[in-house]
Structure 1
Amino acid sequence: MESVASSSTPHPHHHHRPRLTAAQSFSDRIIRAVRHRLRLLHRSGSLFFVLGATGNVYTVNLSAAVSCSCPDRATPCKHIIFVFIRALALPLDDPCLSRRTLRPCQLRRLLSLPTAADSLATATLRDRFHQISAQARAGGGRIPRPPTVVPEEGAACPVCLEEMGREERVVSCGACKNVIHEECFLAWKRSCRRRSATCVLCRARWRSGGDDPDKYLNLSAYVNEEDMVEDGGCT
């Protein structure tokens, strides 16, 4: 009798992506903390205000339970690791690096360490952070929005190819800073359906002011290449 293959036999072309181990995931976050464009904006007591790669400002709190305001559920996230190994210059074998909780003696040691100058954003960007933070406090905690985007004279929308007038509503990509008609972008966003909207030009995930513009202070409108270069100052 001819044998019939079981329907439960897995298809040879179905491959499952291997899940990272805890050690591999932690190593990956260390690499991102080192390679991503992160900078320290301000340090106050146990609080460290970190400029993220997309321009969002996240608050790392070195307390008994180490925490970060970013949406990453992993602890420690890359922003916490950034504070440890770049802002405080801890060695990679320091026992505090992978801990979710810290003892009082460990906290005292960490908070007594000086800030590494090469982890800081430029003085210009740090001043901008303090200015906007002061405006937010004066406004009852509401985060001020970045200045209105104004297209350059004669600039054409990359979607409709029509010239963008100064009176028209436009938006800009937080990654490449290119400007597009707001109406054209909304049409482009709808065409993405359930996928995350991307920039028409650079294809980066669209982040004009963060996924939740009122949740995080976002400085992408003020950041340029020079602002991400260390100046050796202190804050």
Structure 2
Amino acid sequence: MNSQQEKRYVKLQSERFYLLDRSTTPEGKLEFHISGSTRNVYTVTVYPNNANIFCTCPDAKSWAKKNNCICKHCLFILYRVLKVFDRADHPFFDRLWFTPEELECIQISTEFLQAHLDNTLVNTDLSRRYKNVGTTENKYAPTIRFDADDLCGVCFLELENDQTDQYMACPICKKAAHEDCIKKWTSSGQRLCVYCRQDVWGEVRTATNDDYQNLGY
């Protein structure tokens, strides 16, 4: 374990993290959704085919990668959640890929996770907020077809019926705008619908983010 990895290991001992959910993709990837003190939600993924682990946090995408180590969120999954590692000087950190035996331990620990999960790793309030995010996103899905003269209320460009996955609609007046436009609108502090002026966009600021979600306080 190099010095940069040690710094992240120390943070694991002093910071609080929580497991929000876990899933297995059709390709067999193991996904763990976690959050911590900042309330940001990151996804840690174990790739059995590539025998490695990765996180969606900024550290994993940049600094940790450059310093040949893994982020504190990956450490949380390996040490606290799955408990497949029990010491800091594990040989994994010399290679950063899993042996077949380690992958087998990860698979077994994941399968029995619900029965053996430490209750201190679960925050019921954060878990509830995380589950509500999916409900919020569906709440803003467009439900009506656009006419030829329908324009986005923010950028005033045309709305097309074959691109509805790129739009968000007001749950009250049902009129839609580009999702990117709504994100910019809410990031500037706006909460009112650009069409009916109802207070409907307050939840969007925590439910949508290009890289990761934030569950707020």
Consecutive unaligned residues of structure 2, counting only runs of 5 or more, are 25-29, 142-164, 169-186, 190-204
Aligned to 2:71: 77
Which sits farther off after the overlay, 29-38 or 95-104? 95-104
Structure number having the greater strand percentage:
2
- Extract unaligned runs of 5+ from structure 1: 1-21, 144-170, 172-181, 183-208, 222-235
The one of 73, 81, 87 equivalent to 1:87 is 81
Percentage of pairs with the same residue:
28
> Is the Cα contact below 8 Å between 1:76 and 1:98 reproduced in 2?
no
Aligned residues: 140
Match of 1:111 among 101, 107, 112: 107
Shift of residue 86, structure 1, vs aligned partner: 1.1
Flag the structure with larger Rg: 1
Given that 1:96 and 1:102 are in contact with CA atoms closer than 8 Å, whether structure 2 keeps it comes out as: yes
Matched residue SS, 2:42: strand
Correspondence list, 1:10-89, <5 A: 23-45=2-24, 46-63=30-47, 64-72=51-59, 73=62, 74=64, 75-89=69-83
**Cα 1:135–1:41 shift into 2, 3 Å:** same
8 Å contact from structure 1 (residues 40, 119) kept in 2 = no
Q: What SS class does the counterpart of residue 86 from structure 1 fall into?
A: helix
Taking structure 1 as reference, are residues 218 and 107 closer, same or farther at Cα in structure 2, changes over 3 Å only? same
* TM-score under structure 1 length normalisation: 0.49
Aligned-residue offset at 1:135? 3.4
Q: Which amino acid aligns with 2:133?
A: I
| More displaced stretch, 108-117 vs 34-43 | 108-117
Contact 1:86 1:119 in 2 (8 A): no
Aligned mates of 1:107, 1:91 — CA distance in 2: 15
SS of 1:26's equivalent? Answer: helix
Cα RMSD (Å): 3.6
Q: TM-score, normalised by structure 2?
A: 0.53
